[in-house]
């Protein structure tokens, strides 16, 4: 029996970014590749992502920014942590300080080579 090690820290392709409408990271990435949205708000056209409780909107903006920058969109948050933070947001209307900000992430250094 082989030890597979700890599970990955971030969301996997089939984890839901929009919990209201159960829109997975995979669906969002495929949508961006297919439709090439000019602005993050167009991700709402992917099964209504971001139009429910609004929790995922900053995360959608971050994913769109990564995609526009030529990076593979990813969310480095465990799905259970993400869901727990959303529950708190739904109860209080406030985001925890460690959740995604609405500002785009800092640019990555240029690729080597």
Per residue in 22-77, pLDDT (tens digit) is 999 999 999 999 999 999 999 999 999 999 999 999 999 999 999 999 999 999 99
Distance of CA 37 to the CA centre of its chain: 15
Query: Does the residue 102 lie in any domain?
Result: no
Q: What percent of the chain has pLDDT over 70?
A: 79
Number of domains in the chain: 1
Provide the residue range defining the domain that includes 29: 16-92
Query: Does the residue 97 lie in any domain?
Result: no
Question: Furthest-apart CA pair in the chain: how many Å?
Answer: 49
pLDDT at 15: 97
Query: Does the residue 39 lie in any domain?
Result: yes
pTM of the model: 0.79
pLDDT at 112: 53
pLDDT at 102: 38
Query: Does the residue 1 lie in any domain?
Result: no
| C-alpha closest to that of 61 among 16, 10, 17, 111 | 17
Query: Does the residue 85 lie in any domain?
Result: yes
Q: Which of 3-7, 13-17, 51-55, 86-90 bottoms out in mean pLDDT, i.e. has the lowest? A: 3-7
Query: Does the residue 31 lie in any domain?
Result: yes
């Amino acid at each position: 029996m082989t030890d597979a090690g700890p599970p990955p820290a971030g969301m996997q392709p089939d984890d839901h970014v929009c919990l209201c409408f159960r829109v997975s990271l995979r669906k969002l990435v495929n949508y961006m590749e297919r439709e090439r949205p000019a602005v993050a708000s167009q991700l709402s056209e992917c099964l209504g992502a971001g139009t429910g409780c609004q929790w995922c909107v900053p995360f959608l903006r971050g994913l769109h920014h990564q995609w526009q920058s030529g990076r593979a969109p990813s969310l480095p948050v465990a799905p259970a942590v993400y869901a727990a933070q959303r529950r708190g947001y739904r109860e209080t209307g406030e985001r925890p300080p460690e959740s995604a900000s609405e500002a785009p992430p800092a640019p990555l250094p240029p690729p080597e080579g």
